[in-house]
Amino acid sequence: MKSSATIEALSEETRRFPPPPELASGANARPGIYEEAERDYEAFWASWARKLEWSKPFTKTLEWNEPFAKWFGDGELNASVNALDRHVRAGQGARVAYYYEGEPGDRRSISYAQLLAEVCRFGNALRKLGIKKGDRVAIYMPMIPELPIAMLACARIGAAHSVIFGGFSPDSIVDRVNDSQCVALVTADQGWRRGKKVLLKNNCDAAMKATPSVRTCIVARRVGDPVQMQAGRDVWWHDIVADSPIQCEPDPMNAEDLLYLLYTSGTTAKPKGIQHTTGGYLTGVTMTHKLVFDLKEDDVYWCAADIGWVTGHSYIVYGPLCNGATSIIYEGTPDFPDKDRLWEIVERYKVSILYTAPTAIRTFMKWGAQYPAKHDLSSLRLLGSVGEPINPEAWMWYREHIGRGRCPVVDTWWQTETGAIMIAPLPGITTTLPGSATLPLPGIAADVVNEQGESVPPGGGGYAVLTRPWPSMLRGIWGDEERYRQTYWSKFAHKYLAGDGCRRDAEGNYWFMGRIDDVMNVSGHRISTTEVESALIEHPKVAEAAVCGKLDGMTGQAIYAFVSLRGAESGTPGLADELRAHVGEKLGKFTQPKFVTFTQELPKTRSGKIMRRLLRDIAEGRTLGDTTTLADSTVVKELQERAASESARDEA
């Protein structure tokens, strides 16, 4: 285990927060739910699946051919029907699905009936463009209503969407589009971010030079600046929907048909196309959204993530819509025009449930409590956290300054691969502890195991695993069955390896400690060290590079690059910036290394392997263990000195 030191660093948290009695008495999850699920977990999930609308009811619950699961495998349903039509037919058409707020301050409120009409118009337009069931469609958009509309329209006609986060570079678009051979790319002219225009269509133009499978590029007008439109390939969203009917026959999908692909970083340079299917995924997100957030009829719910990541897929689009929730979509950053933008939005729409990330919470802490204090946040009743381990200090600050001491905080652990929340409190039942995701949800079986795969006793740390299939689990990696087996199902027999280190206390609460593989978590974004290394090595002046994560008070981890240069090149601050810009261009700005240390030589074993563990220790300023296997130990001393001065510069 690579970070055993961290895992052994047991937290001594003793604060406990039992559920508020008012919440407990009316909560969606009733006491006894854990026992009910344990008695027959398949029957438990089947009962949740039956709350969805099936055009052909399923008769089989689980077919488990490890590591391949089929859930509700002979049933048929359509995701967009479950998200929209069902509520409209039930007389809820006028209910607000989304309050949309653009960064410049433009606002729209979109009812379920309107959303359904827009989805149908776009679905018809997609069909007219020749896009059909079984195709893949890439979506690269800002946080505007057209993004969920595009996703749901794909789902309606049976095309799988592959959303690519709007912060990615053209090269990253190319890799993802080519891997799954998308036939179309949906984008916008530009988007707004911190008052600046993000050149989405330009990035697509650059990408489409190398994506032969893309026949059509659909462009939504967001900002309004002129963009290049290539005849025969590029079309405007508003043109193709102009005479499109507002009825669109949904394609009935098998429960196991692909709903979407979402690419995530692994331990190699090639991102993995995580596959999610229809019936099980919708069951998982609907159930968890209802129980973990204790969603009620009059709630205004806000997940402040980006739809480009799984959190947005599951908890801005599919979960909330299947539950008929009223949600917020906000386009921009929390500090535009000022650092109280989020709190202004909470006050304006009377948000009652807020779901955000530890990195955001730590940023709010840094900005100061005066920003939330300016606003009436009394509508809030529940707070959620996701994306990385939340430190007890941030948890308490969130509770005090945002929740004003009244709102339960639910720390939710899950992954792109799990599709839905796996480990989290049920706010009416679970006693919460600052920094712990508490317990596996009903129906979910997890464990913490040692190197041999044996369950560790209370108080011990090890690898987090899931020990039986669950409906929203990934169904594999696009085009790479072997990698799916290898990555998740090979280290321990019959256990899904999450890749996270974790400790479990005497009461069974889970305390997640971060990744144990070569994946960094920067502001909740998963970034592979190998991807950043490959990008660095592509720079003509770079001979070799090694990248690791360094603990960071704000972003969880920061990217640390050790770089050796070719021949006569010398490492200057100017070159460090050039490398940062280069990585940003290759992969996307959010992957730029915060620290760059140049070195003549990277520390290597005598067999020539870069000693990554040593570099991690150097980056984090730890005393070094055994360095006797090093080929050249003078390298290390020099690196330690340089790293120390880099860190000092950062702190100053």
Interface positions with ligand WTA (CB under 6 A): 264, 309-311, 386-389, 411-416, 437, 498-500, 512, 515, 521, 526
Q: d(Cα 608, Cα 360) in Å, to the nearest integer?
A: 40
User: Which tokens sit at 642?
Assistant: 């340089």
Shortest approach of ligand WTA to residue 83 CB, angstroms? 20
Nearer to ligand WTA, 356 or 597 (CB): 356
Virtual CA dihedral for 121, 181, 175, 588, nearest 10 degrees?
0
Shortest approach of ligand WTA to residue 308 CB, angstroms? 10
107 forms bridges with which residues in the sheet? 101
Shortest approach of ligand WTA to residue 182 CB, angstroms? 21
Cα distances (Å, whole numbers) of residue 480 to 73, 228, 475? 22, 36, 11
Shortest approach of ligand WTA to residue 544 CB, angstroms? 28
Alpha-helix runs per DSSP H in 242-293 = 279-292
326 forms bridges with which residues in the sheet? 300
Nearer to ligand WTA, 294 or 500 (CB): 500
Nearer to ligand WTA, 150 or 422 (CB): 422
Nearer to ligand WTA, 156 or 313 (CB): 313
User: Which tokens sit at 320?
Assistant: 């909330």
User: Which tokens sit at 487?
Assistant: 């990555």
Shortest approach of ligand WTA to residue 425 CB, angstroms? 11
Nearer to ligand WTA, 101 or 179 (CB): 179
Nearer to ligand WTA, 332 or 389 (CB): 389
Shortest approach of ligand WTA to residue 272 CB, angstroms? 10
Nearer to ligand WTA, 179 or 189 (CB): 179
Q: d(Cα 313, Cα 322) in Å, to the nearest integer?
A: 12
Nearer to ligand WTA, 100 or 301 (CB): 301
If one counts every other C-beta atom within 10 angstroms of the C-beta of residue 245, the result is 12
Shortest approach of ligand WTA to residue 384 CB, angstroms? 9
Nearer to ligand WTA, 10 or 644 (CB): 10
Q: d(Cα 292, Cα 469) in Å, to the nearest integer?
A: 20
Q: d(Cα 523, Cα 124) in Å, to the nearest integer?
A: 38
Cα 447 to chain centroid distance, Å, stands at 22
Cα 461 to chain centroid distance, Å, stands at 25
Shortest approach of ligand WTA to residue 94 CB, angstroms? 32
Eight-state DSSP code of residue 604: B
DSSP string, 632-652: -THHHHHHHHHHHHHHHHHH-
Shortest approach of ligand WTA to residue 414 CB, angstroms? 5
Please give the backbone phi and psi of residue 310, each rounded to the nearest 5 degrees, phi first.
-65, -30
Q: d(Cα 120, Cα 250) in Å, to the nearest integer?
A: 9
Count helices and strands (H / E) in the chain. 23, 29
Q: Residues with Cβ < 8 Å from 147, sequence gap 6 or more? A: 139, 141, 163, 307
Nearer to ligand WTA, 237 or 355 (CB): 355
Which amino acid makes up residue 145? P
Burial label for 626, CB within 10 Å (0-12, 13-18, 19+), is exposed
Shortest approach of ligand WTA to residue 307 CB, angstroms? 13
Biggest alpha carbon–alpha carbon distance for the chain: 74
